[in-house]
Structure 1
């Protein structure tokens, strides 16, 4: 979503009634003097228009795709081909010749898919995709001067990298590992046959997700193209009628309309909140030198809240596009309502009411969290939390702010887990105590997230250090003290390991 962020920055600069303070330009900060240049502002507005135009056109194309290229009327090959061709057009329309990077990566990794051994296919695909993405991040920022706006093709490249590695691991699980060594989820998503080039291209470059995502599983995507997606999900939740032809065919129209309302509300919030509380004010003299600690704490929270609606807008719109095409059905909830949240990237209500760092992360950028769990957290033998945060930072890019955020997130996550494991049980004896606990943990979580995520939007070393110095590095110190003095329960590491089918069978026998 880097393209979106840059375009949003330009709109933000145009809307402000007073000039924003410039962040320092050394050590990896975003060059705001380039963004304020009229020529670059025009380029940024053009990118913004391209992004919104593509997504709105994709929305209408998705409805047309679902109605006129319905799997009952059209072959899966035609649906694959149409989704791929339109997706390629979108990429070229938005990024011009820079889109060649996307196509080169897809071709290279398909070569690995068809030629590498199943025992190594996941390793080669992972290192080639992540390596190519990292090289592009470095060249775009440090060689092309922080990615002059026309070169910011990294967003789609990041999504394609997720899909390439997800697919490679699922092929490895299906062809290179024993069934009893897989977790239930790995077994469900494992592939016994390598995809054809058309399937591979359609999965990676389809018009519904090539610009803004989200990442999804290959089996779900192919089932959608072939018209089995909704029926498959209904059967997974033990729908009463097992006769395949008698299963209902729920419409996504209601879900799409609801998500478009959320999209519009998010856009309005962004345009109003960001004007009053720009992120750049975190380096103002008033904030750094004059405000007291409590004022800084509250203002940081408000500023970070104001930076979130742009993500709500982009991710919800992307989700609506997929739903409009008929993709994203997840089953039936406990009340019997049809759900269209299989591809949702966030749960706004749970984010804003999160009472733990874990709960917040689980509902923010959900599909990326699922990807990190699939390719890293469940598979590495040592330090899964640390390595997962490092991979997340590397995937996002090479701005120093990303590494400040994700490396800060490691001790904060461990400290939050220790507090929860040691003290939560004491507040469960009554509703009043539980309410006090929930309010306290909500406030702590929201402030902790604001503190941790601030470098992510500031990007640079100097403004980040300035901010953290003004906050006395309080969360770093508190987190380290908690880790040092509170006992860490050993079973938390054991619980991380996914249950394999073999372990499940053993429990049944016992």
Structure 2
């Protein structure tokens, strides 16, 4: 069976690792008073361009073009009008690129280029930064340098105003991965004086490196266990539950390691958890909260903690702007943003239903389960059910073909989401009676 994450995350990790010396150099240069704000922006932009060309080759144009068009839109439209056209242009561009992947995989029946997959991953991250910036301008959090196209400023002045936007959209520590940084925090970090710039902690980097090494060793062990056993197409009945759980565990380890590497690269460049945070602003959000993800018994909490910065971005961009079925719209948009592969459409819609069921199940459980032993038993059972449902959804989302999705849906693992669907139906009826 073919799955997505192991296809491109390993090459991305190699390029992220190669960017570490430049991140350390940038952090060191920021301690010098002679390293001006404009020089910092140029360093980050040049590093992003070089990293894009090294990782994507000619496909890098697919990232540079929307970044350029976004800056043109931001600097030419009024703040009240900037968000909608910017959003639709960026999503249209990304969708066309995803359709190219669909054409290669499903029509030509060919394996897509690794560099093209890296480009799509970078485009998805660019979409986060583009829409976050346009929302900030629309909401008045960021003052846009728009002049309606009638400004008589020189070309150099226009480029000087546009440079922070280009630098933010293409800065190299976040080009191929990493949690979403707001434009305000990015600017605060770049403009900060040398006395306020966080110095790279050798101990912190070493500790992160040890964690990544531990995750990689565990991943090698899990891959060996899986390769020695049967796959999902060959497993029998209850054996398929173990296969899906173990395969999802390998995927999670891959993502945890990748997210931690991205976080370490940002930290090495000085974009640490404490940098650039203003009063009243949400703090730095790392993508991986491994402890919570592996111990929670609530699907809703797992959803908020899985790829945390993306979850917050989706909440702000879609959930808070939707008046009808906000949860369904959020997961539907997430499927669109990921590329609308069959497994993604099925997986994200199933995820939305599971979150809705999770809210009702735990609400009723809090009302009717009183004794401590029963609460402990309930927590253990719901923890196991949560982990198995999320393993099922993860394999559905990562499926590369309809045949893989078909095999998954016809395994015993489908019992777990079906149980939550039945409970959702019964609890909705009961809730209506109470109302």
| TM-score higher than 0.5 | yes
* Residue 284 of structure 1, CA deviation: 2.3
The 1:130/1:401 distance shift into structure 2, 3 A limit, reads same
Aligned pair partner of 1:471 in 408, 412, 428: 412
Are 2:135 and 1:169 equivalent residues in the alignment?
yes
Are 2:216 and 1:272 equivalent residues in the alignment?
no
- d(CA) in 2 for partners of 1:413 and 1:380? 17
Match of 1:192 in 2: 143
Asked if 1 retains the 8 angstrom alpha-carbon contact of 2:388 and 2:416, the reply is no
Deviates more, 1:191-200 or 1:93-102: 191-200
* Residue 163 of structure 1, CA deviation: 0.4
Q: How many residues align structurally? A: 403
- d(CA) in 2 for partners of 1:67 and 1:477? 55
Are 2:102 and 1:154 equivalent residues in the alignment?
no
* Residue 206 of structure 1, CA deviation: 0.8
CA RMSD, 1 decimal = 2.7
Match of 1:226 in 2: 191
Aligned pair partner of 2:168 in 199, 203, 224: 203
Match of 1:323 in 2: 267
TM-score scaled by structure 1?
A: 0.73
Asked if 2 retains the 8 angstrom alpha-carbon contact of 1:351 and 1:363, the reply is yes
Are 2:369 and 1:424 equivalent residues in the alignment?
no
Asked if 2 retains the 8 angstrom alpha-carbon contact of 1:71 and 1:227, the reply is no
The 1:133/1:264 distance shift into structure 2, 3 A limit, reads same
**Where in structure 2 are the equivalents of 1:2-21 lying within 5 Å?**
5-7=6-8
Aligned pair partner of 1:116 in 74, 77, 81: 77
Asked if 2 retains the 8 angstrom alpha-carbon contact of 1:3 and 1:154, the reply is no
Deviates more, 1:471-480 or 1:118-127: 471-480
Are 2:262 and 1:297 equivalent residues in the alignment?
no
**Where in structure 2 are the equivalents of 1:46-445 lying within 5 Å?**
48=11, 51-70=12-31, 72-143=33-104, 145-152=110-117, 153-174=119-140, 190-194=141-145, 196-227=161-192, 252-277=201-226, 282-285=231-234, 287=235, 291-293=236-238, 295-330=239-274, 342-427=284-369, 430=372, 432-445=373-386
* Residue 72 of structure 1, CA deviation: 4.3
The 1:54/1:150 distance shift into structure 2, 3 A limit, reads closer
- d(CA) in 2 for partners of 1:411 and 1:390? 12
Asked if 1 retains the 8 angstrom alpha-carbon contact of 2:360 and 2:427, the reply is yes
Q: Which runs of 5+ in 2 are unaligned?
A: 147-160, 276-282
The 1:436/1:72 distance shift into structure 2, 3 A limit, reads farther
* Residue 489 of structure 1, CA deviation: 10
Asked if 1 retains the 8 angstrom alpha-carbon contact of 2:79 and 2:144, the reply is no
Asked if 2 retains the 8 angstrom alpha-carbon contact of 1:71 and 1:225, the reply is no
- d(CA) in 2 for partners of 1:230 and 1:433? 55
- d(CA) in 1 for partners of 2:364 and 2:69? 49
Asked if 1 retains the 8 angstrom alpha-carbon contact of 2:75 and 2:144, the reply is no
- d(CA) in 2 for partners of 1:489 and 1:395? 35
TM-score scaled by structure 2?
A: 0.85
* SS at structure 2 position matched to 1:90: helix
- d(CA) in 2 for partners of 1:149 and 1:455? 21
* Residue 274 of structure 1, CA deviation: 1.8
Deviation digits for residues 2-33 of structure 1 (CA, Å, limit 9, x no counterpart): 9963146xxxxxxxxxxxxxxxxxxxxxxxxx
* SS at structure 2 position matched to 1:486: helix
Asked if 2 retains the 8 angstrom alpha-carbon contact of 1:88 and 1:205, the reply is yes
The 1:62/1:481 distance shift into structure 2, 3 A limit, reads same
* Residue 57 of structure 1, CA deviation: 2.9
Match of 2:401 in 1: 460
* SS at structure 1 position matched to 2:180: coil
* Residue 230 of structure 1, CA deviation: 10
* Residue 193 of structure 1, CA deviation: 3.5
Deviation digits for residues 250-284 of structure 1 (CA, Å, limit 9, x no counterpart): 75433322221111112222222123225995442
Are 2:430 and 1:485 equivalent residues in the alignment?
no
* Residue 483 of structure 1, CA deviation: 2.0
- d(CA) in 1 for partners of 2:293 and 2:413? 26
* Residue 301 of structure 1, CA deviation: 1.1
Deviates more, 1:250-259 or 1:146-155: 250-259
* Residue 328 of structure 1, CA deviation: 2.6
